[in-house]
Structure 1
Amino acid sequence: MAQSTKEILYIGTYSQNESKGIYVLDFDRSTLSASILQTVHDKKNPTFLALHPSQKYLYAAYREGKDADDPNGTISSYAVDRNTGQLTLINQVSSAGASPCHISVDPTGKVVFVSHYQGGNLSTFKVADSGAISEAVSVVQHEGSSIHPNQTKPHMHSMIPSLHGKWVYASDLGIDQILKYEVNPKKGSVKKDPEIFPVKAGSGPRHFVIHPDLPYAYSVEELSNTVGIYTVEPKSGDLLLLARVEMLSPEIQSDYNAAADIHLSVDGKWLYASNRGQDNLAIYQVDQETGLLKLMGHVPTGGQHPRNFKVDEKGELLLVANMESDNVVIFRIQDQTGIPAPTGKSISIPRAVFIEQLFLK
């Protein structure tokens, strides 16, 4: 008899609408339903989470400071119970910046990267064998501005490591730059002289995704509601802009639009990007030779203000965190078209903004 697999969802939230912080859910794939195993609320606003590559630890970026005098956020490390998926706090440190909005872990599992929207800086942390994280090793403050009213100062928004972990790509929405930092896993640091790749003024690069098999990467641009398509030079990791494509549907009128998240399908054939305002996903087909994108259509997210979303690691499902409607909506990805089809199933979570997934055997 095949060994059964337990599936866990971790949901990050804003601490509003009676949210209880991080939700640990037991997800039943056969019924597309979930039950709450645990909630964790060590600080306010655990809006972004990241699993360690070993899947033994989970890291959370809280926007509340470590203590009353700390104007920065807090980074918490948790041990993951490999039988239940429940979390136990290991340690907490200051994020070393105001309003941490993104957290990631390098592929070797030795470095945690944190981006700060209000602080306009990035920080890095060394991971111990126990899963605990050090105080900040690198803190890099960005400088500058751009042409949009929301770009009066730097707004760091994400750090995405390269597939082998040699570099990390930092997207700064406030100064319209993607910066490539060299990573030192032994020290848990980054070199402070990055290669800088300017983007179109007023576009606001937010999140970034690297194709797993092809030398291409994609940047979702919040302010212009576009996706930038880049070649990635294999030896240097440098980026070269190939094209930029629109995200918005001409059939929907909305005064406010802000692109949020971007992910590839497991097989790398499809790209998805979320928009707040039109409240939909833009679906693109990825040309497997050129890396260019063909818009296949838009799918409503089944809620309001879709922040982040998760492409299921099995390649079957896509789950969207709709913050304003307090729900996580479940779609089934159609094999031939890549288009997420509504299942009619959703999970009620107050102010849901982020989804992480774990399989336990």
Structure 2
Amino acid sequence: MKSVLTSILCLIMLSAFAQSPKEILYVGTYSVRGSEGIYVFEFDRSTGDLKQIQTVSNDKSPSFLAIHPSGNYMYSVNEGADKNGGVSAYAIEPGTGTLKPLNQQSSKGRGPCHVSIDQTGKLAFVSNYGGGVFTVLPIKADGTLGEPSESIEYTGSGPNQQRQEKPHIHSATLSPDNRFVYVADLGSDKVYIYEIDPANGKVKPASTPFASVKPGSGPRHLAIHPNGRYVYVVEELTSAVASFNRDARTGALTLLQDNVKTLPADFSGNNTSADIHTDPAGKFLYQSNRGFNALAMMSIATDGKVTLIGQQPTGGKTPRNFLIDPKGQYVLAANQETDNITIFRLDSKTGKLTDTGKSVRVPSPVCLKLMTVR
């Protein structure tokens, strides 16, 4: 009898272990220095370690990634595709988080650099940097991508003749209520605002169709405050951030602060800013700087305004994308030119970061996405 009970207990423990959730990190890369495509790691929260479990072959620079709200699918832009661009769909294996390719579609523009998914899981929004085109693709029930349902080609330029000679669409960020999408055009210093029509796979200009930043700033990525009332825009070309009030009803953005510097006053080298995120509590804002090679740390006041409080070197060169985990315990930084991802602990009270000493090597890491699989 004792042996039977022991066997039952063992089976229960094994079953519980098998069903325990895993945290999986997906890494998008550029196809250089031997990169094989998309790298998949298991993240151990208790130690901060990353263990590689898969590589998904893609030689077209699967740089930026997005996870479907169901957790069943993932999408990558193929930045190195031909002039028609490309986006790939993958199925996420339950229990393991490994990826299986599903299909590909054109993004209708050169150099697709960003993809995002609406909260219904029915639409993918793709930003084509090289072509200056914003494209909407339907997502089918099986996770595959349909042919583009809308493609918007922009006009305009900015004062920086080397970087703003024409439109350069860099990101599309969904509002918390899924009613609006904010499209950043680095080339014209504008953030376009659209209302979303999920049923028809279309967008239309909002009543306030765009917001502008300081000429020559180059808006790149956006972070929306957890309360939905404030929006923060990376100004890539001036290494600064712009803060906006957001009208939840109309989607309109009203400038709150412009061109807040994110570099030390005595820094005189070349730098471009890249990514931006708030912590889960909305108390702090972080922005990556390539050249100075650090994350700028800013406090967020109750009125939404930000103040620079410090810098955290990323342990490598060209920190393009970084990730703040949903529990607010860790920050992972992808150093594109030194082929490494570094891991930091986040102090939720001070906003400061501490290097854990943990790091993994990945050729040219560009984008990091973390999710839990069961």
Please give the TM-score of this superposition, normalised by the length of structure 1.
0.95
Q: Which amino acid aligns with 1:228?
A: A
Q: CA deviation at 1:38?
A: 1.2
Segment drifting more, 27-36 vs 226-235: 27-36
For 1:157, the equivalent position in structure 2 comes to 170
Higher-Rg member (1/2): 2
Is 1:145 the counterpart of 2:157? The answer is yes
CA distance, structure 2, for counterparts of residue 123 and residue 152 of structure 1: 21
For 2:296, the equivalent position in structure 1 comes to 282
For 1:302, the equivalent position in structure 2 comes to 315
Structure number with the higher helix fraction is 2
Segment drifting more, 94-103 vs 191-200: 191-200
Contact 1:203 1:221 in 2 (8 A): yes
Q: CA deviation at 1:213?
A: 1.1
Q: Which amino acid aligns with 1:265?
A: D
Is 1:174 the counterpart of 2:190? The answer is no
Q: Which amino acid aligns with 1:259?
A: S
Contact 1:125 1:189 in 2 (8 A): no
5 Å-filtered alignment, 1:108-127, equals: 108-127=120-139
CA distance, structure 2, for counterparts of residue 260 and residue 64 of structure 1: 19
Instruction: Among all aligned residue pairs of Structure 1 and Structure 2, give the percentage whose two residues are the same amino acid.
Output: 44
Segment drifting more, 54-63 vs 2-11: 2-11
Q: Which runs of 5+ in 2 are unaligned?
A: 1-12
5 Å-filtered alignment, 1:219-298, equals: 219-244=233-258, 245-254=260-269, 256-288=270-302, 290-298=303-311
For 2:35, the equivalent position in structure 1 comes to 19
CA distance, structure 1, for counterparts of residue 233 and residue 119 of structure 2: 20
CA distance, structure 2, for counterparts of residue 189 and residue 51 of structure 1: 21
CA distance, structure 2, for counterparts of residue 12 and residue 229 of structure 1: 28
For 1:334, the equivalent position in structure 2 comes to 347
Q: CA deviation at 1:192?
A: 5.7
- Helix, strand or coil at the partner of 2:238: coil
Q: Aligned-pair RMSD on alpha carbons? A: 1.4
Is 1:55 the counterpart of 2:67? The answer is no
Q: Which amino acid aligns with 1:83?
A: G
For 1:322, the equivalent position in structure 2 comes to 335
Is 1:28 the counterpart of 2:44? The answer is yes
Contact 1:126 1:189 in 2 (8 A): no
Contact 2:38 2:58 in 1 (8 A): no
Q: CA deviation at 1:204?
A: 0.3
Contact 1:12 1:352 in 2 (8 A): yes
CA distance, structure 2, for counterparts of residue 350 and residue 344 of structure 1: 19
Q: Which amino acid aligns with 1:233?
A: D
Note the alpha carbon deviations across 1:134-153, whole angstroms, 9 max, x for none: 11111000101010121000
For 2:58, the equivalent position in structure 1 comes to 42
- Helix, strand or coil at the partner of 1:190: strand
Q: CA deviation at 1:7?
A: 1.2
Is 1:100 the counterpart of 2:112? The answer is yes
Q: Which amino acid aligns with 1:249?
A: P
Contact 2:36 2:58 in 1 (8 A): no
CA distance, structure 2, for counterparts of residue 204 and residue 304 of structure 1: 21
- Helix, strand or coil at the partner of 1:223: helix
Q: CA deviation at 1:360?
A: 1.7
For 1:207, the equivalent position in structure 2 comes to 221
Q: Which amino acid aligns with 1:32?
A: G
Note the alpha carbon deviations across 1:252-281, whole angstroms, 9 max, x for none: 331x11000000101111100000010111
Contact 1:161 1:169 in 2 (8 A): yes
Contact 1:214 1:291 in 2 (8 A): no
Contact 1:111 1:189 in 2 (8 A): no
Contact 1:144 1:175 in 2 (8 A): yes
CA distance, structure 1, for counterparts of residue 348 and residue 193 of structure 2: 34
CA distance, structure 2, for counterparts of residue 329 and residue 101 of structure 1: 22
CA distance, structure 1, for counterparts of residue 368 and residue 118 of structure 2: 19
Q: CA deviation at 1:214?
A: 4.5
Q: CA deviation at 1:42?
A: 3.1
Q: CA deviation at 1:72?
A: 2.2
Is 1:89 the counterpart of 2:101? The answer is yes
- Helix, strand or coil at the partner of 1:191: strand
CA distance, structure 2, for counterparts of residue 64 and residue 155 of structure 1: 16
Q: CA deviation at 1:125?
A: 0.7
CA distance, structure 1, for counterparts of residue 345 and residue 21 of structure 2: 19
The verdict on how the C-alpha distance between 1:99 and 1:214 changes in structure 2, with shifts beyond 3 A counting, is: closer
Contact 1:127 1:188 in 2 (8 A): no
Q: Which amino acid aligns with 1:92?
A: Q
- Helix, strand or coil at the partner of 1:350: coil
CA distance, structure 2, for counterparts of residue 242 and residue 234 of structure 1: 16
Q: CA deviation at 1:132?
A: 1.0
For 1:216, the equivalent position in structure 2 comes to 230
